[in-house]
Amino acid sequence: MNPCRRVIRISGLFAALLAVIFASGNSAYSAVSPLVTALPDFANDTRTPVRLAGDQSGYIYVTDPRSGGIQKYNASGNLLNTFPASKTVSGLAIDSKGNLLVSQETSVAVINSSNGTPVAQFGTFIKANGIAVDNLGNIYVTDSFDNCVQKFNSAYAPVSTGLAAAGKPSNSFGSVGRAAAGQFMQPTGIRYEKAANQLAIADTFNGRIQFYSTGGVYQKTIGSFGSGPLQFTSPQAVSFEYNPADNSLARMYVVDAYQSTIQVIDAATGSFLDYVGNYGIKNGQMVTPGDVLFDSFDPLNNRLIVSNGGGTLVQFGIDKVTGKCGSANNGSFTVAPTTNLCSNGSVLNFTGSGPWSWSCAGLNGGGTATCSASAPSNQIIVNIVASNGGSGSVTSSPGGINCLSGICNSSFATGSSVTLLPRANAGSTFAGWSGDCSSAGTGDCTVTMAAARNVTATFALIPNARVSGTPYGTIASAYAAINLSGTIETQGITFIENLILNRGTSVTILGGYDSAYSSRSGLTVLNGTLTIESGSLAVDGLVIQ
C-alpha cells in the first residue's frame, strides 16, 4: 500500500477547537491544562468530514467528499446548505474577501461562501491539502505529495519565495526528507499563528509540527515521532487559542489521527499540558480524527470542533460552557419534545403538558438558559342561548371555558380531549346541545381537539306553569299573560305565592300535570292566598293551603 495514500484517506476528518488563553496585559504566563467537557456531536449528518473553517459570522464550513462538496452550518450545528464540488474536496480556509478556498486534488477552487458559486481556480499541485491565510491575505497551500508549501497573494497569483528547493515550484518552500529541520514527509494541515506571524505545519510522516515565517524561513519544531506527550504518530492539524483581552497566544492543539486524541501544548513554552479525547465512539471519543478548529467566533462557548473518522463532528467544551437552548426552543409540538432541548449544557427542570419549559444548565460555571415550547392549539367557541328566560353556564375540564352567558372561547392543545359541563341555574333546565356537541343530548359533551369546535348550549325555563304551551315560572306570571280568557296548566308541585285575579278575565286552572304535561295524576298546591277581585275562575286539581 502506498503510505501517502493511506494518510490522505484518514486525514479526511476535521475538528474544531475552542481554547482559553491565560495571559495578562502584554506579558504571557504559562498556560494551564484546560477544563474539558465532552459535548454532544456538533453535527452528525456529515459522512466523510475532512477540513474545517469558521468565519466571523459564526458559520462553520466542512469539506465532505461523500456528501457532495462543502457543508455550511450555523453555530448551533444546523446544516444550512451543501455547496456541490466538481472534484474531490480536501483543504479549506476563508480568504481575505470572505470566499471559501477549497483544495481539489491538483488545484484550489475559490467559492462564494454565501451561495456556493465558483469564483476562480488557481495553482498547480500534485496533491493540494491544507490551506492557511495570513493577516495580509496571502495564501499558503501544502502539497502533500510534493512535500512543500506553495504561497500565493490575495489575488491568487504565485509569490516567489526565493527558497524553492530543486525541482519545486518557485513560489514554494520546504523539501522532502526525514532528518533535517525544514524538510517534510507529507505535510497535511497548516495554520496561521497570528501572534508570531508564523505558519504551523503538520509534518505528518515525521511526527512533528514545524513552524515557518510567512516568507518561508524555518523557525522551530514541536514534537517528534512516537506515542507519548509531545510525540505524534500521525499529526494532521493544528489550532491555536488566543486571549480575547489582548490576542496573546495561550494554548495550541494538535490532532493525531493514529492516536485518536488531541494534545494540548503551552504555546509559550512548548510544554505538554494534557490530552483531549481518546479512541471510541461515545461523546468525547474519536476514531482517526483529521482536523481541529478553535471556534473563536462562538460568542457563548470556548469549544473545539473535530472532524471525526466516524463521520461526525465531535465537539469539546473548553473551560466555561454557557447553557444554550436547542432547536426545540420556541417550537410547537403535539407531544412533549425529547430531543434538541439544549445545544449546550444539560437539561434541567423539564415541566408542563403543552406548553413546556426547561432549563439548559451551563458547565464549569457557565450560565443557564431558559427554554420553552408550545403545543399547537385549536379553539372552542361556546354560545349560550337562553330560551324563554332560562339561564345556565358551561365550564370545561381541563379549565379554560367558564361561560355564564353570551359567547365565550378558549384554546386547547391540538389532539387533547376537552369535556364541556352544562349547569342550569335555579328555575331553568338544560335543553341540549347543537353544533359539534349535538350528539351529546342533554349530558356532558367530550370533544377531541383535532380541529376548532363550535357548540351551542340552550337553557330553558322550567315550565312550572304554561298557557297555550308557553312556559311560566309562577301561576301569577301565567295569569298576567291571559288577555280575555285562557287556561293555565300547572305541574303537580307546590307554588309558594299569593294569587290575585283582578283583570276581569275568565280563567281556568288545571293542576296536577307531570313535567312533560302529558298526563294529570296529581294535585297542584297553592301555598298562599287566592283573591278574586274581578272576572271568573274555574279550577280542577288545585289545592289551596
Over its C-alpha atoms, the chain yields an Rg (Å, rounded) of: 42
Please tell me whether residues 200 and 138 are part of one structural domain.
Answer: yes
Q: How far apart are the first and last CA of the chain?
A: 118
Given a cut of 90, whether residue 5 has pLDDT beyond it is: no
Given a cut of 90, whether residue 299 has pLDDT beyond it is: no
Place of cell 349547569: 423
Please tell me whether residues 80 and 95 are part of one structural domain.
Answer: yes
Q: How many CA atoms lie within 13 A of 470 on its CB side?
A: 13
Q: Would you say residue 312 lies in a domain?
A: yes
Q: Which three cell numbers stand for residue 301?
A: 462557548
Please tell me whether residues 456 and 469 are part of one structural domain.
Answer: no
Q: Which three cell numbers stand for residue 515?
A: 313535567
The arrangement of strands across the sheet holding 100-104 comes to 92-94, 100-104, 107-111, 118-122
| Top mean-pLDDT range of 10-14, 127-131, 247-251, 327-331 | 127-131
Q: Would you say residue 239 lies in a domain?
A: yes
> What residues contact 276, with CB distance under 8 A and at least 6 apart?
34, 36, 253, 261, 262, 263, 264, 304, 316
Q: How confident is the model at residue 44 (pLDDT cuts 50, 70, 90)?
A: confident
**Total domains present in the chain:** 4
Calculate what percentage of the chain has a pLDDT beyond 70: 93
Q: Would you say residue 16 lies in a domain?
A: no
User: In this structure, are residues 36 and 229 in contact, taking their beta carbons and an 8 Å threshold?
Assistant: no
Q: Would you say residue 439 lies in a domain?
A: yes
Given a cut of 80, whether residue 28 has pLDDT beyond it is: no
| Top mean-pLDDT range of 3-17, 155-169, 365-379 | 155-169
Please tell me whether residues 299 and 433 are part of one structural domain.
Answer: no
Please tell me whether residues 438 and 501 are part of one structural domain.
Answer: no
pLDDT at position 23 is: 32
* Weakest mean pLDDT among 40-54, 178-192, 288-302: 288-302
In this predicted model, what pLDDT tens digit does every residue of 503-514 receive, in sequence order? Answer: 999 999 999 999
Q: Cα separations (Å) of 449 from 184, 337, 419, 439?
A: 70, 20, 11, 16
Given a cut of 90, whether residue 138 has pLDDT beyond it is: yes
Please tell me whether residues 361 and 402 are part of one structural domain.
Answer: no
* End residue of a domain, out of 461, 484, 517: 461
- Cα separation, 244 vs 160, whole angstroms: 34
pLDDT at position 301 is: 66
**Is the backbone of residue 336 left (phi > 0), alpha (psi -120 to 50) or beta?**
beta
In this predicted model, what pLDDT tens digit does every residue of 517-529 receive, in sequence order? Answer: 889 999 999 999 9
Mean pLDDT of the chain: 89
In this predicted model, what pLDDT tens digit does every residue of 158-179 receive, in sequence order? Answer: 999 999 999 999 999 999 998 7
Please tell me whether residues 351 and 381 are part of one structural domain.
Answer: no
pLDDT at position 183 is: 96
* End residue of a domain, out of 374, 408, 440: 374
Please tell me whether residues 64 and 199 are part of one structural domain.
Answer: yes
* End residue of a domain, out of 347, 374, 401: 374
Given a cut of 50, whether residue 22 has pLDDT beyond it is: no
Please tell me whether residues 501 and 526 are part of one structural domain.
Answer: yes
Instruction: Provide the 10 A C-beta neighbour count for residue 534.
Output: 9
Q: Would you say residue 9 lies in a domain?
A: no
CATH code for the domain in which residue 48 is found = 2.120.10.30
Q: Would you say residue 149 lies in a domain?
A: yes
- Nearest-CA neighbor of 142 among 178, 119, 172, 177? 172
Please tell me whether residues 437 and 474 are part of one structural domain.
Answer: no
Q: Would you say residue 29 lies in a domain?
A: no
Q: Would you say residue 257 lies in a domain?
A: yes
- Cα separation, 485 vs 223, whole angstroms: 119
Please tell me whether residues 314 and 280 are part of one structural domain.
Answer: yes
Q: Where are the beta strands (DSSP E) in 194-336?
A: 198-203, 208-213, 218-222, 224-225, 231-232, 235-242, 249-256, 261-266, 272-276, 278-279, 285-286, 291-294, 301-307, 313-321, 324-325
Domain span holding position 452: 377-461
- Cα separation, 213 vs 215, whole angstroms: 5
CATH code for the domain in which residue 411 is found = 2.60.40
Strand partners, 224: 231
> What's the rounded mean pLDDT across residues 131-145?
98
> What's the rounded mean pLDDT across residues 498-503?
96
3-state secondary structure of 216: coil
| Top mean-pLDDT range of 132-146, 231-245, 413-427 | 132-146
In this predicted model, what pLDDT tens digit does every residue of 210-239 receive, in sequence order? Answer: 999 999 999 999 999 999 999 999 999 999
* Weakest mean pLDDT among 145-154, 181-190, 327-336, 493-502: 327-336
In this predicted model, what pLDDT tens digit does every residue of 459-468 receive, in sequence order? Answer: 988 788 999 9
Given a cut of 50, whether residue 193 has pLDDT beyond it is: yes
pLDDT at position 235 is: 97
pLDDT at position 300 is: 59
Q: How confident is the model at residue 14 (pLDDT cuts 50, 70, 90)?
A: very low
Please tell me whether residues 77 and 127 are part of one structural domain.
Answer: yes
Tell me if the bond preceding 355 is cis, omega within 30° of 0.
yes
